[in-house]
Amino acid sequence: MLPVIALVGRPNVGKSTLFNRLTKSRDALVANYAGLTRDRKYGEAEIEGHKVILVDTGGISGDEEGIDEAMAQQSLQAIDEADVVLFLVDCRDGLTPADEMIADQLRTRSKPTLLVANKVDGVNPDIALAPFYELGIGELLPTTATHGRGVRALMERVVKDLPEPVEPEIADEAKGIKIAIVGRPNVGKSTLVNRLLGEDRVVVYDEPGTTRDSVYINYERDDKPYTLIDTAGIRRRKNIRESVEKFSIVKTLQAVEDANVVVLVIDAREGLVDQDLHLMGSVIQAGRALVVALNKWDGLEDDHRQYVKTELERRLRFVDFADIHFISALHGTGVGHLYESIESAYQSATDKLSTNHLTRILQWAVSEHQPPLVHGHRIKLRYAHAGGQNPPVIVIHGNQTEQVPAHYVRYLEKTFRKALDLHGTPVKIELRSGS
Ligand code: GDP
Ligand code: GDP
């Protein structure tokens, strides 16, 4: 499970500046998928060699009303789910009443908290930092988020508070493909989980230990092992009446990261909404194989079905590699067929790719369509090799590769995808100069 870091602070202190700085390096994959929308409040970052989930929270001063109150609820939930809280304040403004209110909220939650004194540029730190000690919250670390000054020291400090990675409790081969069922509240995740596990051909083992709130369910179907990551937590409810657990974006992102294949459930009755697209963006950012399940397909009028299909075609062009299934988790229609896509996506995501084969495809791609000239010199792409699985990473070596434009990277990606017959998984192209 990825550790979670929450950024907290009143508006304008520099939370999103820090967020963007920390998540930027993870955007490389996303750049290949034009049209992808992501939730700017949730992102993945790599700090000092640790992958983490970063949450940029909104207000939590305690006096929010209406929609702000709902946002504050989400923020408090994010804080509860965080391993470390970074409380940002603004050195230029000094200590404000809003900072004090946030500090009050944080004090009641006793989370490891670091106080980040941002915008320390252009002020005298000895004078500017002094008032913040009054808050009596965690260690004080000065930063300039816009230029990155102090950020490295902050991150070195943050990793000390991160939990040790927990060793998996069952051997990998017994787990089989790890499948995460994700989606917004009420799309039918729990119904689908029960349906998948309730099939005649399925043998469910004793539920292994739980990590956080997602439940890992180990089972066999047609003598093949699988592990289902149940973000809805249905199997934990003692009875059907017990209230539905709070939907958690953090929990969802952790499950996505930990899965091999993600089944994203969308409610056909409601159609595609922004949150579906955000979740899809997170799946691609994590590089996970993806199967889309359009649920509640039962009892829909023909013209509604046609409308939903048209919408999908229009808005999901950027994930045209993913299979889409029209299912009814309630009646079981189409549910078994999900496995065909799960298996083929997993195969594609974990195929062994030989240097020879990849290099031949690269040479063919270049001969069909040359890279552009840069200052009168042709960019040279020489050879390719595999750099990782799930997602497949194709590393291409050449000259001036930093000049290769995004559209050409997309062309390469498409060509590799086609030549290697890869389905259901994002493909990451990495360009390197020199040998
Ligand atoms: P948020 O509302 O907390 O997310 O704050 P933003 O990240 O949007 O930053 C608010 C403003 O402060 C923007 O104009 C940033 O460019 C600026 N800012 C952020 N960090 C720094 C900093 O370290 N120094 C200075 N001088 N400005 C900063
Ligand atoms: P979750 O919050 O994503 O876990 O969603 P649930 O599985 O709890 O389902 C939410 C509601 O949608 C429940 O009332 C289900 O009975 C209903 N539902 C789930 N799947 C289907 C389906 O395929 N068709 C129809 N008509 N209703 C469904």
Q: Is the CB of 35 under 6 A from ligand 1?
A: no
Atom 10 of ligand 2, nearest CA residue: 186
Flag residues of the chain having pLDDT under 50: 210-212, 237-244
pLDDT at 88: 96
**pLDDT tens digits, 191-233:** 999 999 988 778 887 655 544 457 788 899 999 999 999 887 6
Point out the ligand nearest to the CA of residue 89: 1
Q: Are 129 and 93 in contact (CB under 8 A)?
A: no
Write out the E strands in 170-288.
177-182, 202-204, 215-221, 224-230, 261-267
pLDDT at 203: 83
Q: Are 267 and 308 in contact (CB under 8 A)?
A: no
Q: For residue 68, how far is its CA from the centre of ligand 2 (angstroms)? A: 29
Point out the ligand nearest to the CA of residue 185: 2
Q: For residue 153, how far is its CA from the centre of ligand 1 (angstroms)? A: 19
Most ligand 2 atoms within 8 A of CB, residue of 184, 187, 191 to mutate: 191
pLDDT at 389: 93
Point out the ligand nearest to the CA of residue 18: 1
pLDDT at 241: 44
Q: Is the CB of 296 under 6 A from ligand 2?
A: yes
Q: For residue 66, how far is its CA from the centre of ligand 1 (angstroms)? A: 26
Q: Is the CB of 146 under 6 A from ligand 1?
A: yes
Q: Is the CB of 17 under 6 A from ligand 1?
A: yes
> Which residues belong to the annotated binding site for GTP?
9-16, 56-60, 118-121, 183-190, 230-234, 295-298
ipTM score of the complex? 0.86
**CA separation for the pair 252, 78 (Å, rounded):** 12
b/e for 14-29, b at 16 or more Cβ within 10 A?
Answer: bbebbbebbbeebeeb
**DSSP category for residue 62:** S
pLDDT at 173: 62
The angle, 0 to 180 degrees and rounded to 10, between the axes of the packed helices 406-420 and 355-368 is 130
**pLDDT tens digits, 262-299:** 999 999 999 999 889 989 989 998 899 999 999 999 98
